[in-house]
Amino acid sequence: MWHNACVAGPINWSMMISDVNQTSRLLEWTWLRTILLLIPICLGQSLAQENCSPTLITPAVDASVGFPRSFSWSLTGPCASPQLAFATNGELPDVAYVFATTASPTTLSVTDWDLIRSTLDPDGTTDEFYWTLVDADETSFLELTSWRRFFTRSKITAISSNPQSGASALVGQNFALHLDVNYDAVSSGVLQVLISSASDPSPQTKWTQVGQAGQGSKGFDFALSTDVAGSQDYAITCQFRPDIVTGPLGPVEPDDTISTLSPFIVNWQSDLTSPGITMLAPNSAHTYATEIDVLSLAGTATDNVGVAEVIWTNNRGGSGTATGTDTWSVTGIPLQVGLNDVVVTAIDSAGNETDWTLAVT
């Protein structure tokens, strides 16, 4: 059933073919267009618009009402009263809503949009719509240009990570993760990223301000760590809230946009590499002779993840912890008459150890 599209004001223009499935409707649509193009007498105005070249101007969503209120275009060539059309499918819509208007810009009222949305999206689940210009000839409904998409809610269009899911890291070492979040915002607001895992009791959150409506990208940097070996699955949740200027964001609100990158796997591997240790004072050898009854030591230690502590023991009695780790020192070690085996040990966070023994006489 076709509804006249040439009356004043907004009207509902829909093609309804009963007792056929979706594929049949698309075939019927293609057949109808083919017949109209092959029989010029049936086209009327549409032939006059073959050289009509409209240019659509991307509308900006009005945050106060949640949809684009003004739609604009420019025309090149003979265009006989093109009309503004809306649909929820940007290819071959079964149902379109058409305004019999030639005015650019055309401004929609809240009532107009409520009627359009209730017709095209009666259950209110769609945030993605399309618009174009169509031929004024009610028998053809030929698009004069491609359908153009717009959103009534902000979109998070992509989340990319560096490195990607499946990377490996050492237990006890920071895993540097960079995220790029692409968005198409209908207004200014705050964009937030939260990273959590079942084994991480303290999720990490970072947020940034989005200063204006439109497409954009924001970068976020995180440092993940754990003391447990094995594969961990992290949930990366991006949340955008319109019309605010500061974060962090709390629980999800009705106007928020949510997108999740999951699973994101990090393969945590045990650190099996022992640290290195070097003694620099009183010398870099492993023997030392002295007539003093106390000893001072100094040196350096290294590790692929990090040195946790440096400790010392004397087989003739005494033990303690050195001052510093990468650069360490010990003072006041008591010596006994005869041989004193003083052992300095570097220990990393995984418990790997390396000794340096100094025989003092």
Residues 85, 118 share a domain: yes
Asked if residue 125 is part of any domain, the answer here is yes
194-211 pLDDT, tens digit each: 999 987 767 899 999 999
**Predicted local confidence at residue 11, as pLDDT:** 37
Mean pLDDT, range 255-268, rounded to an integer: 91
Residues 235, 159 share a domain: yes
94-115 pLDDT, tens digit each: 778 888 777 888 888 888 988 9
**Predicted local confidence at residue 150, as pLDDT:** 82
Output the pTM of the full model. Answer: 0.56
**Predicted local confidence at residue 140, as pLDDT:** 59
**What would you measure as the largest C-alpha separation in the chain, in angstroms?**
120
Statement: residue 8 has pLDDT above 50: no
Residues 144, 32 share a domain: yes
Residues 159, 145 share a domain: no
**Predicted local confidence at residue 43, as pLDDT:** 37
Residue 294: how many other CB atoms lie within 10 Å: 10
Mean pLDDT, range 165-170, rounded to an integer: 93
Residues 293, 255 share a domain: no
**Predicted local confidence at residue 76, as pLDDT:** 83
13-71 pLDDT, tens digit each: 333 322 323 322 333 334 444 443 333 333 334 444 557 788 888 787 776 677 888 89
**Predicted local confidence at residue 156, as pLDDT:** 93
For residue 10, what pLDDT band results from cuts at 50, 70 and 90?
very low
Asked if residue 5 is part of any domain, the answer here is no
Asked if residue 292 is part of any domain, the answer here is yes
Residues 282, 184 share a domain: no
Statement: residue 306 has pLDDT above 60: yes
Residues 332, 222 share a domain: no
Asked if residue 310 is part of any domain, the answer here is yes
Statement: residue 165 has pLDDT above 90: yes
Mean pLDDT, range 116-125, rounded to an integer: 86
Mean pLDDT, range 162-184, rounded to an integer: 93
Residues 356, 290 share a domain: yes
Please identify, among 100, 127, 151, the residue that sits at the C-terminal boundary of a domain: 151
Please identify, among 237, 269, 301, the residue that sits at the C-terminal boundary of a domain: 269
Mean pLDDT, range 226-232, rounded to an integer: 89
Lowest-confidence segment of 67-71, 139-143, 251-255 by average pLDDT:
139-143
- pLDDT over 90 percentage in the chain: 45
Asked if residue 188 is part of any domain, the answer here is yes
Statement: residue 142 has pLDDT above 90: no
**Predicted local confidence at residue 63, as pLDDT:** 62
Range(s) of the domain holding residue 97: 10-151
How far apart, in Å, are the Cα atoms of 180 and each of 151, 153, 160, 163, 164?
21, 20, 5, 11, 12
Q: CATH no. for residue 284? A: 2.60.40.10
Greater confidence (63 vs 260) lies with 260
Mean pLDDT, range 3-18, rounded to an integer: 34
Summary mean pLDDT of the chain: 82
